[in-house]
Amino acid sequence: MLFPTANFQAQFSVVSFHPGDAVAVLLPLPLAGSYDYTVGPGQRLAAGDFVQVPLGRRQVCGVVWGEASGAVAAEKRRSVDRALDLPPLPLASRKLVDWVAAYTLSPPGAVLRMVMSVPAALEPMPPDPVAFVAAAPPPALKMTEARRRVLAAARQPMPAAELARQAGVGTSVIKGLADAGALHRIARPRPVAGALADWRRAGFPLSDDQAAAAAGLRAKLAGDFSVTLLEGVTGSGKTEVYFEAVAEALAQGRQVLVLLPEIALSAQWLARFERRFGAPPLEWHSELGQASRREAWRAVAEGRSRVVVGARSALFLPFPNLGLIIVDEEHDGSFKQEDGVIYHARDMAVVRARLGGLPIILASATPSLETQVNVEAGRYERTHLPLRHGGAEMPDLAVIDMRRHAPPRQSWLSPPLVAAVEEALASGEQAMLFLNRRGYAPLTLCRGCGFRLQCPHCTAWLVEHRLAGRLQCHHCGYLSPKPSVCPQCQAEDSFAACGPGVERLAEEVAAKFPAARTRIMASDTLSGPRAAGELIESMERREIDLLIGTQVVAKGHHFPLLTLVGVVDADLGLAGGDLRAAERTFQLLSQVAGRAGRAAHKGRVLLQTYQPEDKVMRALVSGDAEQFYRAEAEDRRAAGMPPFGKLVALIVSGPDPGQVDRVAAQLARLAPRDAEIEVLGPAPAPLALLRGRHRKRLLLKASRSIRVQGVVRQWLAQLHPPNGVRIQVDVDPYSFV
């Protein structure tokens, strides 16, 4: 077992606890704090050690957190059962748990549960799988035809089952040969993902701009904590540039963490990594199987895995030797985790970097306003790549005013967009239509009585998915077949689809461009990372002429032959009107636009909009991002909104609407009174019913100088909601549903 290097060990708290001492143990459960235990006979423990302790009638694994609180009298304390055979949880990870818990107002144990997300990894690993290899046959061996075939096949080490299959024999033949000494058993250690990345390989020769940016990032590896925004237009080579920093960290023998917004869709990123470093990184995401999760967790904890690429939860892996963090597409909203412990992975990654004293790189073509303000305030540094790589030009961007170019009824493509698609297809180029709506139609209603098909558990319409033949709630996942008669007026065949989703758009495309090879790319039409990878490859191989996609097409893909991007409904994201609607729409549409013309052919982007005068459309067309952000920042500053003020959302929810109302009203009565604090609400949440729970929202708005956590903690301590009513706290809310 490889333990962290000596110099890193020195960072661990050196206090050790001996038999009879009292220690605090944090358990991965949503309890108020740590529990005290007595160190058992023969045990020697230090902060960070994984231990098993009794809790009620159960045995639970937890982590030694430090000295006991003293809350429990010595004679009442129970003893630690045993220490687990694992490297200790590093100090920076422990500090991160405490920090995230305090910031998000979550129980530390709930955060620790994210660290200890793979309980099986705490137990000894199963022995390495065994393979068989042919040895010199002992002279007394009775040779048969079957045995001869086995020995021939076993010139390469092979697991028994594989050997039996190749030789066409039963496993008893193999066992017989092994017993006779004609086959040797050898252990075959499983390959460790992320262990073999070779930083000595050369990357692409970099342009001068890229080389300068890369040198700056490499230099950060010699220093302490730092945050650098790596900003550059789509296609400027940000990935290639931060790979240089990855190489530097690996050369120093450190671990690297790369956070991506949508790891399941990052086949192209993974392929590029492998091309650059000769071996794949370790992937960490929700679609990993149990066995892979266990091995991955162990490999990280033991420092064997060097490069981890993951979704937000990878931040809580127990890296003993982390040297660099990269957050790619740092502006992406999916870094915000919306349930359980509600946290923003980009912000907590910065905290992790600070606690570990290491550099972090935030990469984006359209950085979040938060990050830009941090750059301006001098808290973050900025490195800029102004040009697309290889002289590729930025696409031309224009709006189509839908008030003047209305499409015919029941269709969504305006004549100018249709003409542009025809032109692109006629010149043998690829086109993409972007519509950020899954399914066939967002609303289905009865033509007879106007009845709308709604989710029984949420304030939301059911979305028809015609390919799958059903209706679906996009909030809770509720599924139902399309009813044959209207539940209200009993009319038959009276349902009409309202508005387009990508499936309906595909029908229009098929009618208008019958010769085009068309595919849909949406999170629900892809069955997993492999399906996404295959679709992207077939796009690269030019087997697709026209790609129709939701936001999953926006993220980072590089399609050299794609020249036309049509945004079917550019206004869609502006509708909700929440704090970040304009910023998010600008970022998303810039990213979609950035798919066009990334290689030799110049790209063209057409935005269908009913509000061409809107500031977002104007900024996209002019390409003046700086002006857009400046105006946006001014608006927020004037309104005292983030990042210039603090917001905390409180969501009261429960099965009984009366109870929820009462608790919400009580919260409002008890609201903190302070000149620099404002409490808005209670108001029905836009999703007033979600998964069968009624919901009310309150919003606390405070100036930056207020420590909102303390205020909210005191506020909540004054009331005890009845069973079933929950108050969820969302510090720095992103979603306002």
Q: Per rule CB under 6 A, is residue 113 in the interface with ligand ADP?
A: no
238 binds, among ligand ADP, Zn ion, none (CB under 5 to 8 A by kind): ligand ADP
To ligand ADP, the closest distance from the beta carbon of 560 in angstroms equals 8
Residue 558 neighbours by CB distance under 10 Å: 18
To ligand ADP, the closest distance from the beta carbon of 364 in angstroms equals 9
To ligand ADP, the closest distance from the beta carbon of 427 in angstroms equals 22
Spatial separation of the C-alpha atoms in residues 564 and 597, rounded to whole Å: 8
Please name every residue paired with 608 in a beta bridge, in sequence order, or none if there are none: 400
For ligand ADP, which residue of 94, 147, 220, 238 counts as binding (CB under 6 A)?
238
Piece of the chain touching Zn ion by CB under 5 A; list 20-28, 458-466, 521-529, 725-733:
458-466
239 binds, among ligand ADP, Zn ion, none (CB under 5 to 8 A by kind): ligand ADP
Please name every residue paired with 606 in a beta bridge, in sequence order, or none if there are none: 398, 566
Residue 512 in contact with residue 446, Cβ under 8 Å?
no
For ligand ADP, which residue of 294, 389, 557, 701 counts as binding (CB under 6 A)?
389
Q: Per rule CB under 6 A, is residue 395 in the interface with ligand ADP?
A: no
246 binds, among ligand ADP, Zn ion, none (CB under 5 to 8 A by kind): none
Spatial separation of the C-alpha atoms in residues 166 and 161, rounded to whole Å: 9
* Residue length of the chain: 737
All residues at 6 or more sequence positions from 558 whose CB lies less than 8 Å from its CB, including other chains: 235, 268, 598
What tokens were used for 678? 């404002």
For ligand ADP, which residue of 237, 320, 442, 500 counts as binding (CB under 6 A)?
237
Burial string for 36-72 (b: 16+ CB within 10 Å, else e) reads bbbbbeebebbbbbbbbbebeeeebbbbbbbebeeee
Taking the least distance from each CB to Zn ion, the nearer of 247 and 460 is 460
Spatial separation of the C-alpha atoms in residues 41 and 64, rounded to whole Å: 16
To ligand ADP, the closest distance from the beta carbon of 229 in angstroms equals 13
Spatial separation of the C-alpha atoms in residues 441 and 589, rounded to whole Å: 22
CA atoms within 13 A on the CB side of 439: 19
Taking the least distance from each CB to Zn ion, the nearer of 452 and 630 is 452
Piece of the chain touching ligand ADP by CB under 6 A; list 16-24, 69-77, 178-186, 235-243:
235-243
Q: Per rule CB under 5 A, is residue 457 in the interface with Zn ion?
A: yes
Q: Per rule CB under 5 A, is residue 475 in the interface with Zn ion?
A: yes
253: closest CA among 303, 217, 295? 303
For ligand ADP, which residue of 43, 210, 414, 585 counts as binding (CB under 6 A)?
210
To ligand ADP, the closest distance from the beta carbon of 218 in angstroms equals 15
Taking the least distance from each CB to ligand ADP, the nearer of 238 and 694 is 238
Please name every residue paired with 463 in a beta bridge, in sequence order, or none if there are none: 472
Q: Per rule CB under 6 A, is residue 603 in the interface with ligand ADP?
A: no
Torsion, Cα 321 323 329 335, to 10 degrees, reads: 40
Q: Per rule CB under 6 A, is residue 109 in the interface with ligand ADP?
A: no
Q: Per rule CB under 6 A, is residue 206 in the interface with ligand ADP?
A: yes
473 binds, among ligand ADP, Zn ion, none (CB under 5 to 8 A by kind): Zn ion
To Zn ion, the closest distance from the beta carbon of 461 in angstroms equals 10
Residue 462 in contact with residue 479, Cβ under 8 Å?
no
To Zn ion, the closest distance from the beta carbon of 692 in angstroms equals 8
Q: Per-residue x/- marks for ligand ADP, 151-190, CB under 6 A? A: ----------------------------------------
Positions 81 through 110 that interact with Zn ion (CB under 5 A): none
Q: Sort 397 into a burial class: Cβ within 10 Å, 0-12 / 13-18 / 19+.
A: buried
Q: Per rule CB under 5 A, is residue 476 in the interface with Zn ion?
A: yes
Query: In angstroms, how far apart are the furthest CA atoms of the chain?
Result: 95
Piece of the chain touching ligand ADP by CB under 6 A; list 67-75, 170-178, 205-213, 338-346:
205-213
- DSSP string spanning 470-514? EEE-TTT--EEPPPSB-TTT--BS-EEEES--HHHHHHHHHHH-T
For ligand ADP, which residue of 231, 240, 283, 571 counts as binding (CB under 6 A)?
240
Backbone angles phi, psi at 171, to 5 degrees: -70, -15
To ligand ADP, the closest distance from the beta carbon of 388 in angstroms equals 8
Spatial separation of the C-alpha atoms in residues 272 and 243, rounded to whole Å: 10
To Zn ion, the closest distance from the beta carbon of 520 in angstroms equals 23
How many residues of this chain bind Zn ion (CB under 5 A)? Answer: 7
Q: What is the 3-state secondary structure (H, E, C) of 392-412?
A: CCCCEEEEEECCCCCCCCCCC
475 binds, among Zn ion, ligand ADP, none (CB under 5 to 8 A by kind): Zn ion
Helices 529-540 & 267-277, crossing angle to 10 degrees? 80
Q: Per rule CB under 6 A, is residue 331 in the interface with ligand ADP?
A: no
Q: Per rule CB under 6 A, is residue 367 in the interface with ligand ADP?
A: no
Q: Under DSSP, is residue 713 helix (H, G, I), strand (E, B) or coil?
A: helix
478 binds, among ligand ADP, Zn ion, none (CB under 5 to 8 A by kind): Zn ion
Residue 146 in contact with residue 169, Cβ under 8 Å?
yes
Taking the least distance from each CB to ligand ADP, the nearer of 361 and 737 is 361
676: closest CA among 705, 698, 702? 702
Q: Per rule CB under 6 A, is residue 329 in the interface with ligand ADP?
A: no
Positions 654 through 713 that interact with ligand ADP (CB under 6 A): none
Q: Per rule CB under 5 A, is residue 458 in the interface with Zn ion?
A: yes
To Zn ion, the closest distance from the beta carbon of 467 in angstroms equals 20
To ligand ADP, the closest distance from the beta carbon of 270 in angstroms equals 13
434: closest CA among 514, 559, 611, 552? 552
To Zn ion, the closest distance from the beta carbon of 588 in angstroms equals 24
To Zn ion, the closest distance from the beta carbon of 460 in angstroms equals 6
CA atoms within 13 A on the CB side of 335: 22
Positions 417 through 456 that interact with Zn ion (CB under 5 A): 455
Residue 471 in contact with residue 440, Cβ under 8 Å?
no
How many residues of this chain bind ligand ADP (CB under 6 A)? Answer: 14
All residues at 6 or more sequence positions from 562 whose CB lies less than 8 Å from its CB, including other chains: 429, 430, 431, 432, 539, 547, 595, 596, 597, 598, 603
Q: Per rule CB under 6 A, is residue 90 in the interface with ligand ADP?
A: no
Q: Per rule CB under 5 A, is residue 692 in the interface with Zn ion?
A: no
To ligand ADP, the closest distance from the beta carbon of 450 in angstroms equals 47
Positions 549 through 568 that interact with ligand ADP (CB under 6 A): 558
Q: Give start and end residues of each alpha helix (H) in 513-654.
A: 529-540, 581-593, 615-622, 625-639
Q: Per rule CB under 6 A, is residue 281 in the interface with ligand ADP?
A: no
Q: Per rule CB under 6 A, is residue 330 in the interface with ligand ADP?
A: no
To ligand ADP, the closest distance from the beta carbon of 375 in angstroms equals 18
Q: Which residues bind Zn ion (CB under 5 A)?
A: 455, 457-458, 473, 475-476, 478
Q: Which residues bind ligand ADP (CB under 6 A)?
A: 204, 206-207, 210, 232, 234-240, 389, 558
